[in-house]
Amino acid sequence: MGSITLQQVEKTYGQGAKGNKVIHGVSAEIADGEFIVIVGPSGCGKSTLLRMVAGLEEVTAGDIFISGRRVNELEPAARDIAMVFQNYALYPHMTVYDNMAYGLKIAKVPKDEIERRVQKAAGILELGALLQRTPRQLSGGQRQRVAMGRAIVRQPQVFLFDEPLSNLDAKLRAQTRLEIQKLHRDLGVTSLFVTHDQVEAMTLAQRMIVMNAGRIEQIGTPEQVYGQPASTFVAGFIGSPPMNLLSGQAQGRRFEAGGVTLDLPVEAPRSGPLQLGIRPEHIKPTPDGSWVMQVEVLEMLGAERLVYGHIGTAPFTLRMESTDIAPRAGDTCRLHVPLEHLHWFDPATGARVNG
C-alpha cells in the first residue's frame, strides 16, 4: 500500500560544469508501514531527499516509486502523501478545528466525513479540548500536534516529517517523540522522518538511513547501526559521546597508537595501518587493565560521568555510572579491553574491517 522505492536517485543544482550534485545515486527499499528515520549532519542531503519524495524538488536522475507507482513527474497533491514541517505553518486566524479541516474542505470531502476525521485525529493527539482555540493560544508542542493532526486527517499512504521537533525545547521534544511513536503504532502508515538529532533517530526508527555528503553510509536498525557501524563516519556520528577511534599500526595482538604499544585481547584482522574503535561505555577501569589512560577532565551528567583523557597522545573518553568510583583529574587509569566490543576500520576508506 504505502511502500517507497528509491532507485539511484540523484539531485544536481545547476547545469554543466557549474552543476552542484548534492544527492549521489541513493537507493533504498522502504516497506509498507515502516517508520524510517533519515539522519545525518546539516548539509548531507537528507531534507533534499525527503522533498524529492514529496514532489517539492525535481529528480535529476533515478526513479521514485510510491506503492509501486512511479511518481517522478507527479505533483505533490497527486502522490497521496502528507508532510509535517519544522515550521508548523498553521493559519493564525483559524481555529484548531478549521486548520485540521481546511484541506478536506478544499478537496470537497462531505461535511460529516470531515467531522469524523477531525474528531478521530483530535482524539488520537489529545486535542479535543483545544479545537476552538486559535494557534496563538497554544504552546509550541500543541501547535506541532495540530500540524500532525492536519496530516492525519488526509489519511495518506505516506507521512513525511521534515525535522518537526527542532523548534521544541528538550522536554517537549521527548514528549512529542512518544506521541509520534504512539501515532505510528495506532495508524501503521509508512513514515519517513528526517532529523540531524541522533537521539530522535535512535528512539523513533524501526530502521535508520545514515547519510553523509549526499550518500547513504548505512541502512539498518538502531541496534545494527550502533553495534556494527559500517564506517568511521557512522561510528563517530551515532553515539554520544562518539566512539573512540585510535589510528595506528597493527601486528598480531599488538597495536601501536598515540606513541604507545597496546596489547589486544585478540589478533587484529590484518597487519598494517588500521583504526581501532571502542565506545566509551564499553571499556572499564580495572587495577589489572592492560591499557593506561592519563585522566584530564571529568564531567558529571547526573546518572553518568564522562572521563576525558589520553592514551599516549591519542584522545580517549570513558563513560561511567555515577555510582562507580571515578578517577580524578591527573590520575593514571588502567583499562580492561573487552574483546566483543572492538571495532576495526580501514583508515584509507573509513569502511569497516571484519576479523
Give pLDDT tens digits for 271-305.
999 999 999 999 888 888 889 999 999 998 888 99
As given in the structure block, the three cell numbers for residue 179 are: 506521541
CA distance 68 to 234: 31
Instruction: Give the pLDDT confidence of 91-107 residue by residue, as tens digits.
Output: 999 999 999 999 899 98
- The fold of the 4-233 domain, in CATH, is Rossmann fold (3.40.50)
Closest CA to 228 of 355, 45, 40: 355
Whether the predicted pLDDT of 355 surpasses 80: no
Q: What is the mean pLDDT of residues 193-209?
A: 94
Give me the pLDDT at residue 130, please: 92
CATH class held by domain 242-345: mainly beta
Helix axis angle, 140-152 to 96-106, nearest 10°: 20
- In this predicted structure, the answer to whether residue 22 has a pLDDT above a threshold of 80 is yes
**Cα–Cα distance for residue pair 349/290, rounded to 1 Å:** 29
Closest CA to 84 of 3, 174, 167, 159: 159
Q: Can you tell me the distance from the alpha carbon of 122 to that of 238, in angstroms, rounded to the nearest whole number?
A: 35
56 or 1, which is more confident? 56
- Location of C-alpha cell 540531524: 196
Q: What is the mean pLDDT of the chain?
A: 92
Which residues, at least 6 apart from 165, have a Cβ–Cβ distance to it below 8 Å?
Answer: 144, 172, 173, 176, 177, 195, 197, 200
For position 17, what pLDDT does the model report? 78
**How far is it, in rounded angstroms, from Cα 313 to Cα 296?**
12
8-state DSSP, 206: S
Percentage of the chain modeled with pLDDT above 90: 68
pLDDT for 52: 96
pLDDT 10s digits, 230-262: 999 999 999 989 999 999 999 999 999 989 999
> How many residues does the structure list for the chain?
355
Burial of 17 (0-12, 13-18, 19+ CB in 10 A): exposed
If one counts every other C-beta atom within 10 angstroms of the C-beta of residue 80, the result is 18
On the question of pLDDT at 167 being above 90, the answer is: no
Residue 188 DSSP code: -
pTM above 0.85, yes or no: yes
Report residue 16's pLDDT band, with 50, 70 and 90 as the boundaries. confident
List the 254-257 sheet strands across, edge first. Answer: 260-263, 254-257, 244-251, 272-278, 343-345
211 half-sphere exposure, CB direction, 13 A CA radius: 31
Flag whether pLDDT at 1 surpasses 70.
no
Indicate the domain borders of the chain: 4-233, 242-345
- Residue 290 phi/psi, 5-degree rounding, is -90, -15
How is residue 351 annotated by DSSP?
B
